[in-house]
A and B are shown apart, each in its own frame.
Chain A
């Protein structure tokens, strides 16, 4: 378990990250509690903080950067199924499979028993 990635602030999308190797694959569990007082959420939306769907993508990107230094290249499919509000704790569970030039990642975000988002994405190794 690692702390907050340095690059996450101030676009904070990961509170804690757990990474485990599973054969050649990686299993990632990233968690974030939606903080309605966080500056970005004050503008999304005024009067009612809703965690922007795109921040789920940001959570996955920050998790993959922290875990293996990989960068998002394609969001193959993303579906936002239920909103996250102030105080909700999102758990994003993802499996990253090695490809010749990066990783294919399949992830699911949950709030308790509710699936809030599903995502499939490709990541590439960072240059250098």
Chain B
């Protein structure tokens, strides 16, 4: 089990966009299970007025995707030597069929199950699902990430 302090060594994101709390399972090169706890004190819920409808507290889907993507990155980075050159960053470059079947609200724990489908050169393809308890809230057919400079020289 990889705790949060270990995750911070591997991922460059920081508060409030470091969106993996703990790794529950990791099969190197194959799969990873992570969790991200959603609380009412998330910055994304800041400033919502009292009396707002319940769905204002749906965890943003964009952040759910980011959390899934960071989980995929942890799987890919596991066991690799840190790259030293380097102005390149592991970047999320695409997805296909990311389907939402439910929502998460404060008090829910997102559980991401990610499988690494293939790695071609420096590009990785992952697939997976996100659960809250036994409720499936998202599936993704393909998520793609690669290592590239933040902004290539013109």
Interfacial residues, chain A to chain B (CB-CB below 8 A)? 7, 9-11, 13, 39-46, 48, 50, 52-55, 57-58, 61, 72-83, 85, 126
- Which A residues are in CB contact (< 8 Å) with B17? 40-41, 43-44, 52
- Which A residues are in CB contact (< 8 Å) with B96? 76-77
B150 touches A11 (CB 8 A): no
A10 touches B43 (CB 8 A): yes
Distance between Cα atoms of A72 and B66 in the complex (Å): 15
Interfacial residues, chain B to chain A (CB-CB below 8 A)? 12-18, 43-44, 46-47, 55-56, 60-63, 65-66, 69, 89, 91-100, 150-151
User: Most chain-B CB neighbours within 10 Å: which of A46, A61, A83?
Assistant: A83
Distance between Cα atoms of A9 and B47 in the complex (Å): 8
A74 touches B99 (CB 8 A): yes
Consensus secondary structure, chain A interface: mixed
Residue of A nearest to B99 (CB): A74
B92 touches which one: A45, A53, A58 (CB < 8 A)? Answer: A53
- Which A residues are in CB contact (< 8 Å) with B65? 54, 57, 75
A80 touches B14 (CB 8 A): no
- Smallest distance from the beta carbon of B77 to chain A beta carbons, Å? 15
A74 touches B46 (CB 8 A): no
- Which B residues are in CB contact (< 8 Å) with A43? 13-18
Residue of B nearest to A6 (CB): B49
Residue of A nearest to B12 (CB): A45
Please give 15 more A-B residue pairs, beta carbons under 8 A apart, in addition to A55-B62, A77-B95: A11-B60, A40-B17, A43-B17, A45-B14, A50-B150, A52-B92, A53-B92, A54-B66, A57-B62, A57-B65, A58-B60, A76-B97, A80-B91, A80-B92, A85-B150
B91 touches A48 (CB 8 A): no
Distance between Cα atoms of A80 and B13 in the complex (Å): 18
Residue of B nearest to A120 (CB): B96
- Which B residues are in CB contact (< 8 Å) with A74? 97-100
B94 touches which one: A40, A78, A83 (CB < 8 A)? Answer: A78
